[in-house]
Amino acid sequence: MDFFENIYEKGLLTKKVDELDLGKNKGIFVKIGIISETTGFLIIRNNDPTETTSEDFYGQERVVIPGSKWRGAERTYSLSLFRKFKGLIPEGYERNAIEKKDLLIQNPLTALFGDSSIGAGSEASSVASRIYYDWSYSFERLALITERITHNTLSETGTILMEKNGEVASNALYNTQYIKPGIKFIRFVTLENVSKELLDIAVLVILGTRRYGARTAILGENVFNNIVAIGFSRKDRPITSYTILSEAWETERYEPEKMIVDKMRSVYGDNLLAGDELKSYLNSVSELKNDESKLREYSQAIVNKMKSDWKDRFEKKKRQKGEKPNED
C-alpha cells in the first residue's frame, strides 16, 4: 500500500481539505524534521544589533535561532510564491496590515499560517495558525562558527563619515557578528489538523525558502533546507531540536541527519516517511512550484473550505430595515 494511503486509512492525515473541520481540533500532528545548513553568512540578532543571539548550554556559549526567525522568512516566501500566479493572493492583501476581515479567508495561506485583521470593531478578527516552529541551537561553540565583519556608515555624499579634524567619526565604523557558511542546524516544523494539500504547501515553502535573518536584501540566499523525515501521529511527540542537541552536547558527537531519523524512527515507527519514499514525495512537491493549475486547485479548495466553515464569523451582516448602508 502507498505510504500516504496507509496514513489516510489510519486517520493520521486528511486526504482533502474538504474533509477537515476547521472549527475543531482533531489532535492529529505532522512533524517535519529539517537540517538547515548555512550556505552564506547569516545574521541572527538579539537586542544588540551587532550581536548574534546565544545562550550558555553545557558550559559553552551556543548560537540560538528563535522559531520566529524561521517562520517569518518562510511566510514571506510563501506569499511571494503564490503571488506569481494572479488571483491566488487577494488584491489588496498586505501582511499584518489588512483592515477588512474578509480578506483573511480569501488568502489560502491563512489556513496554514493564521492571520489577523487590524480593522476596528466588527472588522477585527483572527485565524489561529496550524504551523508551529521549533527553536534551533548550534552544536558548535559560538566563537567557532561566527565571524565579525566591519562595516562603515556612509555620509549623504556616499563617503565614510569623518570628523572635522579629518579622522573617522566615532560612530562611522561598527562590526556585525555573522554565522559562517557550512553550519548545520536541526529544527522541526509541526503541523496540526491539516490536509494533504496544506502539508504539500508547507513542505513546498520549506524547500523553497533560501533567505533568513537580517540584511537578506544584501546578503542574498544563505540557507539550504533539507527535509530528512516526516512523522505522523495522534498527539504531538516530544521531539525538539533541544532534546537532540542536548544529547549531542553531552556525547560530543553530532550527526544531524542520522540523529533526526533515528530519534523519529524510534517514536513514529511505521508512521515515519523517510528514505526513498520521502525523496519521491519531496520531488513531487518541488514540481508544484511551477504548476499553476495545481496551486490554483489547492488554493480554491482551501478558500472554499474557510468560507464554508467560518461563514458566520466572516460574512457581511445584512442591513436591517432603516439601517444606513456601510460606507466601507
DSSP 8-state code for residue 33: E
DSSP 8-state code for residue 255: -
Residues whose CB falls within 8 Å of the CB of residue 277, separated by 6 or more in sequence, listed in order? 3
When pLDDT is averaged across residues 59-65 and rounded to a whole number, the result is: 95
Residue 216 lies in a domain: yes
How much is the pLDDT for 42? 92
* pLDDT exceeds 70 at position 294: yes
Residue 153 lies in a domain: no
Residue 161 lies in a domain: no
Q: pLDDT tens-digit profile of 229-256? A: 999 999 999 899 999 999 999 999 999 9
Is residue 223 within 8 A of residue 21, CB to CB? The reply is no
Q: How many CB atoms lie within 10 A of CB 269?
A: 10
Q: Which of 88-97, 171-180, 211-220, 287-296 has the highest mean pLDDT?
A: 287-296
Residue 279 lies in a domain: yes
Query: What is the spatial distance between Cα 162 and Cα 159, in angstroms, rounded to a whole number?
Result: 9
Look-up of cell digits 559562517: 180
Residue 286 lies in a domain: yes
* pLDDT exceeds 90 at position 35: yes
For 228, the enclosing helix (H) or strand (E) is: strand 223-234
When pLDDT is averaged across residues 260-273 and rounded to a whole number, the result is: 97
When pLDDT is averaged across residues 36-44 and rounded to a whole number, the result is: 94
Q: pLDDT tens-digit profile of 117-167? A: 766 676 667 788 999 999 999 999 999 999 987 655 545 444 455 566 666
3-state helix, strand, coil in the chain (%, to 5): 40, 25, 40
How much is the pLDDT for 193? 93
Mean residue pLDDT of the chain comes to 86
When pLDDT is averaged across residues 300-322 and rounded to a whole number, the result is: 74
How much is the pLDDT for 146? 93
Residue 162 lies in a domain: no
User: What are the strands, taking DSSP E only, across 42-195?
Assistant: 54-57, 60-65, 115-116, 126-127, 131-133, 136-141, 146-152, 173-179, 184-192
Residue 166 lies in a domain: no
Residues whose CB falls within 8 Å of the CB of residue 227, separated by 6 or more in sequence, listed in order? 32, 33, 34, 203, 206, 207, 278, 282
The model's pTM is: 0.87
Q: pLDDT tens-digit profile of 83-115? A: 999 999 988 887 666 667 778 889 999 999 988
Tally the domains of the chain: 1
Q: Strands 60-65, 54-57: parallel, antiparallel or unpaired by DSSP?
A: antiparallel
When pLDDT is averaged across residues 14-38 and rounded to a whole number, the result is: 91
* pLDDT exceeds 90 at position 321: no
Tell me which residue of 303, 313, 317 sits closest to 116, measured CA to CA.
Answer: 313
Domain hosting 250: range is 3-141+182-314
Residues belonging to the chain: 328
pLDDT cut 90: percent of the chain above it? 64
Residue 164 lies in a domain: no
End-to-end alpha carbon distance in the chain = 54
**What's the angle, vertex CA 208, arms to CA 205 and CA 214, rounded to 5?**
95
Lowest mean pLDDT among 33-47, 135-149, 185-199, 306-320: 306-320
**Pairwise pLDDT comparison (159 vs 213), residue with the higher score:** 213
Alpha helices in 136-212 (DSSP H): 142-145, 196-208
